[in-house]
Amino acid sequence: MMQNEVALDFLLEGFIDDALVEQCRDIKVNGLVQDNRKARSGNLFFAHQGYNTHGLLYAQDAVAKGVTVVLWDGDLENRSEILDSISNKVLCIHCDDLKYKVGPIASRYYEQPSLSLNAIGVTGTDGKTSIAHFLAQCLDAYDVHCGVLGTLGNGFINDLHPTGLTTVDALQVQKTLAEIQQAGARHVVMEVSSHGLDQGRVNGVAFTTAVLSNMAADHLDYHGTLENYAAAKKRLFYTPGLGAAVINLDDEFGRELAKEVREHVCVWGYSLEKDVSCYRDLADYFVNTLEIKPFEHGYHLSVSTPKGEACFDIPLLGRFNVSNALAVLATLLVSQFTLEHATSSLTAIHSVDGRVEIITEPEKPVVVVDYAHTEQGLSAVGRSIREHFDGQMWCVFGCGGDRDRSKRPLMAKVAEKYADRVIVTTDNPRHEDPQAIIDEVMSGFSSLDKVEAILDRRQAIDIAISNAQPGDVVLLAGKGHETSQIVGDVHIAFDDRRVAREILALRDPGVLS
């Protein structure tokens, strides 16, 4: 993307004091940066408090690299000393609550790209990635390109560029939206994380529709309390100018949210329940199932919508994916799809990488790889496997280090409920002792008769696949699409799907290896 020269007073008007705007007259900037390592001559440098450090600590380096303006806020101990050292070289401007204004300022710089797009934001504990990618597949099938920003990468559905984050920083969000819009997209679907909402990363995005999948306890290591986590999720549904909210009414938090936001936005509620009369005060429109019939690799659905009733098949496993499909159907109808086009596009969707991804070979156990890393997510996958398969279920899982510890014994209880055999292993230990994490998980089992702990993840997968019988299912949970294991700060190549295929290939059909 070409760097544009944009007037500084235009970028900052309304975000800083009027007297300071006058100092910006006749100044132009040719780029916006928060990372001093990326600073270039003529840039505007944002210096605010981040999660771990303050941007002002890097302002001197950014100035040395030629930035024109430093926009700052925050109470840093040596703030005066830093500002004194650079204020005679560049324009330094104070801006209250700067981290929440980076997005809107960047939106102006990139000519407000989201205003030219049908921007759909998807939030929730589980299902964000699946809903976002199913939507993008459907929108692509009947319309001009649909962009995607999320866990699996940013770009277009068949050309994603991994970022390592569900929701990238505010500058990158706006830059990516501009690139997608300039490439001819009419729609964009964004996974919106609670971290992203809390840190203002999507401020300045003109969402037309907000979608909630569900909510369960997660990320409490960051948010501290479930109330704070819920408050972060709610922010998406208070986006200025939001046209519609698509909300899961089978979720307790969803029902509370629908009742609350219906005062200011049109609510489309979706539900697996045949009778939604008890929800009549929660939504303006309803999309719900009249019948759900599982078959080996999917479901036959009969649904009721504001645009009529319809019957169609989805090639996906798990009732949670039926719920995800309803979220997609409601959002497509909000986006002016006909019922016929919406349902026919849903029949052609395919599973998302690492989300109930099935790996099969004749006369060998079925392997299911899924990203489930919460109590609720593991429970949903466990139920789906029990609904579609008759054999024994093996579950291989672990819990990530430097993350919410309270869910570790809860994950064990879920695994014990659904699986016939369980192997607890290493996930992404990060800076924690892998054995200590496993010990905390093991404390959640009521009995260890059918449970074993194997520290090495590859060995754990090998033992499960090698001992499972044809007709059994081996669930590899927690890492899904990930292609590395994080130990300390090092990313070690490891892909559950690749490992599973290698081990399956070594197994003789129909017999134990």
pLDDT more than 70, % of the chain: 97
pLDDT value at position 449?
A: 96
Domain map of the chain by residue range?
A: 6-98, 110-287+318-346, 357-506
Separation between Cα atoms, residue 70 and residue 304, nearest integer Å = 55
Beta strands in 249-284 (DSSP E): 266-271
pLDDT of 27 strictly over 70: yes
DSSP state, residue 126: S
Q: Does residue 225 or residue 449 have the better pLDDT? A: 449
| CATH number assigned to the domain with residue range 110-287+318-346, chosen from the 4 options 3.40.1190.10, 3.30.930.10, 1.10.1040.10, 3.40.710.10 | 3.40.1190.10
- CATH code: domain 357-506 is 3.90.190.20
Average pLDDT over residues 452-457: 98
- At 52, the pLDDT band (50, 70, 90 cuts) reads confident
pLDDT value at position 6?
A: 96
pLDDT of 108 strictly over 80: yes
Angle at 371 between CA 365 and CA 372, to 5 degrees: 95
pLDDT value at position 223?
A: 56
81: left (phi over 0), alpha (psi -120 to 50) or beta: alpha
Q: What are phi and psi of 188, to 5 degrees?
A: -145, 135
Helix (H, G, I), strand (E, B) or coil at 9: helix
Share the mean pLDDT of the chain. 93
Quick one: tokens of 296? Answer: 């080996």
pLDDT value at position 217?
A: 56
The least confident of 195-199, 207-211, 491-495 is 195-199
pLDDT of 470 strictly over 80: yes
pTM to 2 decimal places: 0.82
pLDDT of 219 strictly over 60: no
pLDDT value at position 439?
A: 98
Closest alpha carbon to 48 in 37, 36, 40? 36
pLDDT of 2 strictly over 80: no
- At 35, the pLDDT band (50, 70, 90 cuts) reads very high
| CATH number assigned to the domain with residue range 6-98, chosen from the 4 options 3.40.50.10470, 3.30.460.20, 3.40.1390.10, 2.40.50.140 | 3.40.1390.10
The least confident of 217-226, 234-243, 295-304, 471-480 is 217-226
Average pLDDT over residues 411-436: 97
Cα separations (Å) of 73 from 182, 371, 436, 460? 33, 38, 40, 50
pLDDT value at position 59?
A: 95
Report the DSSP pairing between strands 366-370 and 484-487: unpaired
pLDDT value at position 309?
A: 98
- At 143, the pLDDT band (50, 70, 90 cuts) reads low
pLDDT of 61 strictly over 50: yes
Long-range Cβ contacts of 284-287 (<8 Å, 24+ apart): 285/330, 287/326, 287/329, 287/330, 287/333
Evaluate whether 209 touches 117 at the Cβ level (below 8 Å): no
Residues near 83 by beta carbon (within 8 Å), at least 6 away in sequence: 56, 72, 92
- Model confidence over 289-317: pLDDT tens digits? 999 998 878 999 999 999 999 999 999 99
The least confident of 125-134, 283-292, 426-435, 448-457 is 125-134
Average pLDDT over residues 30-43: 96
- Model confidence over 476-504: pLDDT tens digits? 999 999 999 999 999 999 999 999 999 99
pLDDT value at position 76?
A: 84
Quick one: tokens of 197? Answer: 């909402």
Residues near 73 by beta carbon (within 8 Å), at least 6 away in sequence: 47, 48, 49, 94, 95, 96, 97, 98, 99
Evaluate whether 75 touches 173 at the Cβ level (below 8 Å): no
Shared fold status for 110-287+318-346 and 357-506: no
pLDDT value at position 513?
A: 45
Residues linked to residue 154 through DSSP beta bridges, in sequence order = 149, 161
pLDDT value at position 352?
A: 87
- Half-sphere exposure for 465 (CA within 13 Å, toward CB): 29
Average pLDDT over residues 196-200: 90
- At 286, the pLDDT band (50, 70, 90 cuts) reads very high
- At 165, the pLDDT band (50, 70, 90 cuts) reads confident
pLDDT value at position 221?
A: 64
Closest alpha carbon to 335 in 114, 509, 151, 186? 186
DSSP state, residue 78: T
Average pLDDT over residues 250-274: 97
- At 218, the pLDDT band (50, 70, 90 cuts) reads low
Average pLDDT over residues 250-264: 96
Average pLDDT over residues 273-287: 97
The least confident of 40-44, 211-215, 367-371, 505-509 is 505-509
Cα separations (Å) of 144 from 140, 185, 232, 291, 381? 6, 6, 32, 32, 33
Evaluate whether 83 touches 74 at the Cβ level (below 8 Å): no
pLDDT value at position 3?
A: 64
Quick one: tokens of 238? Answer: 């208070």
